[in-house]
Chain A
């Protein structure tokens, strides 16, 4: 049914659009209060994020780790489990890949590939720790993945603060030495940060769309997320799905980190994945996108643009870059109102199921 499709498309696009517009309105009010012309500021902000080549390149480069960690989160969330540990998985993946790149005798393309695979494997293993705890001891995946982020961030920081610290120069920065030239992703010009990793990230996201919609794994995990009992009845093991999705999620997070390291920073820097908040922005993008990888890609670029534009705003208009944060937070807030509503609807349905009753609001319509 074409009409049906149109209506669905409209429904899925309407609420994020409304949220974005409302958030921009809130941002405008804040700017008016501080005496800035919001129209001018927004023009600046969007020009200097999407409409000038240099800034567009920055935006796209920034969006790559965001979209990957977003898709990483979506992999698990759509199967009905909640992974909040993308940040920690990125830290481990990034650190291991950086260590391999710095200390192993690897060079050029195959070297990069090997380091990235190593980073992804490490991130996968880290993601499987909370999964195992959930499986074995029924420890809540939400809590363990979230808490591990903090522990892992400090542990990885230790390495760049002490054993791996780059003592050249003033030696003040807590960071590793740079990885060698041949291992880095190709940059198209030295005027901006645009490099091949962005395209690889986009390809991976598109591949994940294919995995979600066209494969056995995608089908099984989706059904598990929608109704575990139905999955179980049909022969899908929900625990196996949890392990599979968590492993894939870890691998994607690790890949996201490698993109940042081999494409932009070329080294591991203290708190590089916690202070930038890629994982959380990605999580937000995937929630707005309703777990759809292609939409996650779109929203990731948008949110990355807000970030880049916000920084530019601070430099040229003198509006603090926190205005971008305000807008971003408001989008999250407005979206999550809707999201929470949906979530509660589902959850209350589940509670009622426990006493043997189902609860529906609509029915046919």
Chain B
């Protein structure tokens, strides 16, 4: 037994994040820790990595009890962590980032860049993960940045690596690369703890699986003894219904985009002659590998970015290149693709985060003065309806888990009751329970006759909800399918730039 955590308990005020949890990790195995957002996985890992101290319980490494006061202690004991949000210096090279904190020295004081590069190369070779040591982190795609982060942890000479939601930010190709890397690390004798929501990944790489719910350990089992259905049942605590998409009458177009073009810095247009429409009572999916113009399209539609030519008509109002406010006034709401970059201010309270784009309304503001009572009522009602787990409406946004922040944003935008909604990556990186909930809300909105443009890099999400699917590739609409004719193979092929025959 390499690591043992016994009876770990951690509370934050009235919230019991970890309730008498046991965890054990053997040498050379991959242990997956699964559970919904707020199940306490991250807290448990923070305790193991020394970022938090537990209220009671003990940690044993090789049978010896240890106490970590900071990540330094954890690293000294051979435990490293690859964070979900990378801690890299974007202007430094890969090698500089990897050796940061333990730089090889020349004459005891000077940083030896050459030695750093060669050490990094040796490290790459040892674990079969390749990077250019002198590439700037800012120039690396996310998958490569993660690889640098992993190498950084390996460079510190750890035996146990914790991965916190490593696939949440990756494209499908990058995910399969990552899973390969995990297996290679295991073969090299490292022990791995993998925190994730994605059960298919768990079933692919894990040796044992630990399921948590609401701070409790539900069950730990071997991969061979379980399956995805059982895992998701254990995680959520009840069975998830498979949704039937109800047939409803679809009305006129609520969004009409005509020949929208946005030029880039080079010769190629970022958005090239995009013409799409969304009707009342319809969810239209935009599938595509992220980075093919989806972000820019959303920004053009919502008025954040100005485009060169073309027309955007929302709810019969021409809002081409109008301000965000005019856009919203015409009946557009938006769940933005990045909940922290666009969707919330992490240091603002839940009240402040909840009333964005609502606070102009009569019952919340009069003569420029906000009506605190009505705002409080609005926020608390809304958060309760959307099952956001929070302790106080004065909490800072950053104190909520990612899934709850996402629910808050979806709640805020659906509460606009606007005829048209852009939902961009509405469930990125959140657990199945929350995904199911958000999907249900989106379908309810559609069934009430509103139009939704669903932009997602998650094909399963597109297929689960869409009435019609557009595929974006390199800034163009490369294909359009009705629900009936779309198959994963066809859509996948066009996403990768292929062509359908006939």
Contact = CB atoms under 8 A, between A and B. Distances in A.
Physical interaction between A and B: yes
Interface of A: 1, 3-5, 214-217, 219, 222-223, 226-227, 229-235, 237, 351-360, 362-365
Contact of A235 (B137, B328, B336, B365): B328
Contacts of B17: 364
A225 to B, nearest CB: 9
Contact of B341 (A216, A226, A229, A363): A229
B86 A359 contact: yes
B122 interface: no
Contacts of A216: 359-360, 365, 368-370
B302 A357 contact: no
Nearest to B327: A235
A365 B392 CA distance: 14
B323 A235 contact: yes
Given A227-B346, A358-B340, A358-B341, A214 B372 contact: yes
Contact of B368 (A215, A223, A227): A215
Contact of A354 (B90, B344, B372): B90
Nearest to A351: B90
Interface stretch (B175-183, B200-208, B393-401, B477-485): B393-401
A357 B90 CA distance: 10
A365 B323 CA distance: 37
B42 A363 contact: yes
Contact of B391 (A1, A226, A359): A1
A358 B88 CA distance: 10
A229 B342 contact: yes
Nearest to B43: A364
B392 A364 contact: no
Contact of A352 (B43, B88, B399): B88
Interface in B366-406: 368-370, 372, 391-392, 394-395, 398-399, 401
Contacts of B356: 223, 230, 233-234
Contacts of A362: 51, 398
By Cβ-Cβ distance, the 5 closest A-B pairs, closest first, are A226-B345, A235-B325, A227-B345, A234-B356, A235-B324
A227 B85 CA distance: 18
14 contacts: A1-B392, A1-B394, A216-B359, A219-B370, A226-B345, A227-B345, A230-B344, A233-B343, A235-B323, A351-B90, A357-B85, A357-B86, A358-B85, A358-B340
Contacts of A233: 302, 304, 324, 334, 336, 342-343, 356
Contacts of A223: 345, 348, 352, 356
A237 B348 CA distance: 18
B304 A234 contact: no
A162 to B, nearest CB: 45
Given A219-B355, A230-B344, A362-B398, 15 more contacts: A3-B13, A219-B359, A222-B352, A223-B345, A233-B334, A234-B356, A234-B357, A235-B325, A235-B327, A352-B88, A354-B90, A356-B142, A357-B169, A359-B85, A364-B401
Contacts of A3: 13
Nearest to B343: A230
Given A223-B352, A355-B138, A4 B85 contact: no
Nearest to B164: A363
Contacts of B343: 230, 233
A237 B365 CA distance: 18
Interface of B: 12-13, 17, 42-43, 46, 51-52, 85-88, 90-91, 137-138, 142, 145, 169, 302, 304, 323-325, 327-328, 334, 336, 340-348, 352, 355-357, 359-360, 365, 368-370, 372, 391-392, 394-395, 398-399, 401
Contacts of B365: 216
A123 to B, nearest CB: 23
A207 to B, nearest CB: 12
A5 B394 CA distance: 9
Contacts of A364: 12, 17, 42-43, 399, 401
Contacts of B340: 358
Contacts of B323: 235, 237
Contacts of B142: 356-357
B88 A357 contact: yes
Nearest to A7: B13
A89 B302 CA distance: 39
B307 to A, nearest CB: 16
B342 A4 contact: no
A226 B347 contact: yes
Contacts of B88: 352, 357
Contacts of B359: 216, 219
Contacts of B42: 363-364
A217 B368 contact: yes
B486 to A, nearest CB: 30
Residue of A227, A234, A358 with most chain B CB atoms under a 10 A cut-off? A234
A217 B360 CA distance: 11
A1 B328 CA distance: 34
B344 A227 contact: yes
Contacts of B352: 219, 222-223
B109 to A, nearest CB: 25
B326 to A, nearest CB: 9
A342 to B, nearest CB: 10
B87 A359 contact: yes
Given A214-B370, A226-B345, A226-B347, A232 B12 contact: no
A4 B12 CA distance: 10
A47 to B, nearest CB: 40
A234 B304 CA distance: 9
Contacts of B328: 235
Contacts of B370: 214-216, 219
A127 to B, nearest CB: 21
B341 A353 contact: yes
Contacts of A219: 352, 355, 359, 370
A3 B52 CA distance: 20
B324 A232 contact: yes
Contacts of A231: 345
A226 B85 contact: no
A3 B365 CA distance: 30
A214 B399 CA distance: 23
A214 to B, nearest CB: 6
Contacts of A226: 345-348
A80 to B, nearest CB: 11
Contacts of B398: 360, 362-363
Contact of A4 (B52, B304, B395): B395
A217 B369 CA distance: 8
A354 B145 CA distance: 14
A233 B412 CA distance: 13
A150 B179 CA distance: 61
Nearest to A228: B345
B392 A4 contact: yes
A222 to B, nearest CB: 7
A1 B342 contact: no
Nearest to B136: A355
A363 B46 contact: yes
A46 B252 CA distance: 76
Given A227-B346, A363-B42, A235 B341 contact: no
Residue of A219, A237, A359 with most chain B CB atoms under a 10 A cut-off? A219
B430 to A, nearest CB: 15
A354 B138 contact: yes
Contacts of A4: 13, 391-392, 394-395
Given A3-B13, A235-B325, A363-B42, A214 B369 contact: yes
Contact of A1 (B13, B145, B327, B336): B13
Contacts of B401: 364
Contacts of B90: 351-352, 354-355
Contacts of B394: 1, 4-5
A304 to B, nearest CB: 30
